[in-house]
Structure 1
Amino acid sequence: MKRLLNRLLPKSMRSEAVIIPVVRLHGTIMPGGNQFRPSLSLASTAGVIEKAFAFTDAPAVAFSINSPGGSPVQSRLIYKRIRDLAAEKNKQVLMFVEDVAASGGYMIAVAGDEIIADPSSIVGSIGVISASFGFPELMKKIGVERRVYTAGQNKSVLDPFRPEKKDDIERLKALQLDVHQTFIDLVKERRGARLKDDPDLFTGLFWSGTRAIELGLIDRLGDMRSVLKERFGEKTQLRLITQPRGLFGRKLGVFGSRASLSAPDIAAAAASGLVDAAEERALWARFGL
């Protein structure tokens, strides 16, 4: 519609600016999330992603990504939504890495037809990790007895309050290998011949943006504004896409509004948020951030 109206105007009044919608995907990738701990998931990003691809006249959609990773499922769901919409709307997808696109963050980045990063960006970490704590000796010291009742012999696998079992570890490793292979296949499918034959590529290592070009993990170095103006002209305008806002200016939730929380809900969310915050902090800390 905008293009049609533009043609109807006198040439001197026509806008020559190309508008590129921009979506920020910043944060750890986790299901759920709340006011106390926002995170990236399909539920939290689907609205802005679809809104960006709805720009009929835009030749491309740009994504600013800054994530140390998190849930492999949510990462792949976000990746797939971007690729599905790119094919449906016939749009080019450009991914711009800021500080880090690692693990699940890199999985989302490969949804781009091109990946652009800063020379000092951290890229890669194509692997799978699980981490927890074990407390069996602490339980003995404080005189607490662990009581677990299950129907099914494997329902208490990897119980942190009991000593590790070899069979449990082997099951977890097998699961990780399946998820890792899915990740590897996705990267190979998207990056293809651009990937270099390097034995460390899929070991979970990560590299600077400069080294990532040599390995074929990204396509070029640069920043969003400069690259987009170079490609689409000096008059190119970047349009940041945000969550829709309600009648009183508050950002709407997934279902259009946010229900008010009771005091117990707030306390529970805050307590859960402390644990999640520690996990989130650990993800960023792996990359010195």
Structure 2
Amino acid sequence: MKQWLPFTKKEPTVAVIRLSGMIASTARGGLNDATMGPVIEKAFRKGKPVAVALEVNSPGGSPVQSSLIGARIRRLSEEKDIPVIAFVEDVAASGGYWLAAAADEIYADPSSVVGSIGVISAGFGLHELLQRNGVERRVYTAGNSKSMLDPFKPEKEEDVERLKELLEDIHVNFKDHVSSRREGKLAQDRDLFTGEIWLARKAIEVGLIDAIGHLKPVLQERFGEKVQLRRYGAKKGLLNRFGAQLVTDAATGIEERAQFARFGL
């Protein structure tokens, strides 16, 4: 009843947003702006929090969705004048680090993996498989680049060069984001944008994170022992709860497991 009585002192509240899993444009991907947008909005607007904490555990994924989520966090932080503190769990790599860098401060466990500030595109070439099995592929296009990097056709040098240009442009966007958010903190004597990863203590040395620390102890030290944590996260739909999408979820789980495995997790 205390919180409803006038003239009583309320304990400070920190909104905690969980950002866990692969970042993908599809709803099944777990982390995307369509799914997380309402969650983030609610966290910043409900109950006048003294800060917003991000629990980040992501190997990355879509650069666009990473940018959209990060931009939403920054926009609300500046609009509401609420500081944002990120806490890395197992990994904040690639797009996961993009999300962590949206915070004003970044903490991590000593064994957390951070970094991988790079861009990757992967696929398969299946044209020889089709030839061996006597399969003829027929594709008709209007526009010379419409079938660029078709996996059922041999690679073209000009297609590969075009893809590399696109990846480099995205990489520039990533580097600009990190450089802006970590301005004055990044080590100047080495290239931090090669896709390399670091454990937390090394990441502190190069300026990618601020300190070692876990969510509750850090927030209690900052805002007092009685600080209240209000948690926010994406909720599963009704069909998901009753197992109606078990096959899709299993496929997603395999893909996500592969992404985490890239970092030895």
Q: Scaled by the length of structure 2, what TM-score is found?
A: 0.91
Task: Please tell me whether residue 136 in structure 1 is matched to residue 127 in structure 2.
Answer: yes
* AA of the residue aligned to 1:239: R
Which residue matches 1:99?
Answer: 90
Structure 1: distance between partners of 2:36 and 2:75: 14
Deviating more after overlay: 56-65 vs 187-196 = 56-65
**Structure 1 residues 272 and 161: alpha-carbon distance in aligned structure 2, compared to 1, 3 A threshold:** farther
Instruction: Spell out the pairing of 1:11-50 with structure 2 (5 A cutoff).
Output: 14-33=8-27, 37-50=28-41
Structure 2: distance between partners of 1:49 and 1:113: 16
Task: Please tell me whether residue 239 in structure 1 is matched to residue 233 in structure 2.
Answer: no
* AA of the residue aligned to 2:16: V
Structure 1: distance between partners of 2:22 and 2:89: 14
CA contact (8 A) 1:121 1:209 kept: yes
Deviations 1:223-273 (A, max 9, x none): 0000000000011121112457xxxxxx56xxxxx6x79xxxx78x94697
Shift of 1:285: 1.6
**Structure 1 residues 135 and 271: alpha-carbon distance in aligned structure 2, compared to 1, 3 A threshold:** farther
Structure having the higher Rg: 1
Aligned residues: 261
Gaps of 5+ in 1: 245-250, 253-257
Gaps of 5+ in 2: none
**RMSD over aligned Cα atoms:** 2.3
Q: Secondary structure at the match of 2:125?
A: coil
Which residue matches 2:264?
Answer: 288
Which residue matches 1:219?
Answer: 210
Structure 1: distance between partners of 2:113 and 2:135: 44
* AA of the residue aligned to 2:188: D
CA contact (8 A) 1:16 1:235 kept: no
Which residue matches 1:248?
Answer: none
Structure 1: distance between partners of 2:167 and 2:43: 34
Structure 2: distance between partners of 1:68 and 1:271: 20
Which residue matches 2:48?
Answer: 57
CA contact (8 A) 2:23 2:29 kept: no
Instruction: Spell out the pairing of 1:158-169 with structure 2 (5 A cutoff).
Output: 158-169=149-160
Deviations 1:70-122 (A, max 9, x none): 00000000000000000111100010000000000101111101001111100
Which residue matches 2:147?
Answer: 156
Q: Scaled by the length of structure 1, what TM-score is found?
A: 0.84
* AA of the residue aligned to 1:141: R
Shift of 1:197: 1.5
